[in-house]
Amino acid sequence: MWPLIFILITSALADNCSHIFNDRNYTKSAILTIKGLPTNLVYNPKSKDLLFTLIDLETLQNQEVQTKMDQYVLRYGEPIKIDNINGQSAAVDVKNNIVYIASDNGLNILNKTDRAIHIGYKDDIVQIFKPQNSDDIYAVLFPDNEVYKLDLINEEKERIENIPCAFIIAVDDNGNIFYECEAKYVKVLLKGFQESIEFVGLPKNSARAVSMDDNNRVILASNDGLYWLKPDNMIPKKLMDLDYVPAGIAFNGDNFYISTTEMIYEYNPCI
């Protein structure tokens, strides 16, 4: 048996339409309760799986040991652990129906029976991001959190020189790279530019996750809510207030998921 304690909430505890996102009313329901911190949420529209990384909070708080984390797939309400690697982040290539899992020992793809198959690299990859409308794939490497564009065919990688580091990252369809570095700021490196632009008005050390919605909008989850980061405006647009600290966010059409300590919530629009 797994030495793992989780409680499944089978009947969704949906509240009424009191949550406002982007001027629209939403319901919020808890879809998973699990021991640890679920983060790096990614939705796969083909399989309807929600992928996430589960961080062990005891090792996160203990400075003397390396933080333990595992990659999971949430399928029909049940969390499935990918147990043949130390998974740290996932990305979905929707067009080609490929699920990538980054681990402390390179890049993997998930096969049909939920096993990770190593496809290249030996690096400790902590973040991975796949824009949907290009063949590019971006990776953030331990220990300095530098950002690389991967060339999977030749197993090569090219450093993005103008980004010092990234703890969260998203790349829009136009190749603009949104990131947060050392909890200091949220910036965008516009395609073809040398210098990043900093977003204003966000509290320091508040950015927690960033994701693309289905309209090619970059949505930041921060300690006080959700913001739309536009490439042509330094002032983010606030779309939602949150009364808990988010850890991950992923979109599925008009629906979206937000994780926090021991929980994943789903938000659905009311009509």
Ligand X SMILES: *[C@@H]1O[C@H](CO)[C@@H](O)[C@H](O)[C@H]1NC(C)=O
What is the C-alpha separation between 29 and 64, in angstroms, rounded? 36
Q: Tell me how far CA of residue 53 lies from CA of 39, 89, 136, 154, 169, in angstroms.
A: 5, 6, 22, 28, 15
CB of 115 to ligand X, least distance (A): 4
CB of 116 to ligand X, least distance (A): 8
Pairing of β 6-7 and β 116-120: unpaired
Angle (CA) 213 13 1, round 5°: 90
- The residue with tokens 């966010």 is 249
Cis peptide before 143 (omega within 30 of 0): yes
CB of 111 to ligand X, least distance (A): 4
Closer by beta carbon to ligand X, 46 or else 191? 46
Closer by beta carbon to ligand X, 82 or else 170? 82
CB of 91 to ligand X, least distance (A): 19
Closer by beta carbon to ligand X, 161 or else 243? 243
What is the C-alpha separation between 169 and 19, in angstroms, rounded? 26
CB of 29 to ligand X, least distance (A): 10
Closer by beta carbon to ligand X, 8 or else 117? 117
CB 71 within 8 A of CB 110: no
Q: Which residues form the interface with ligand X (CB under 6 A)?
A: 15-18, 20, 25, 111-113, 115, 117, 270
Closer by beta carbon to ligand X, 113 or else 194? 113
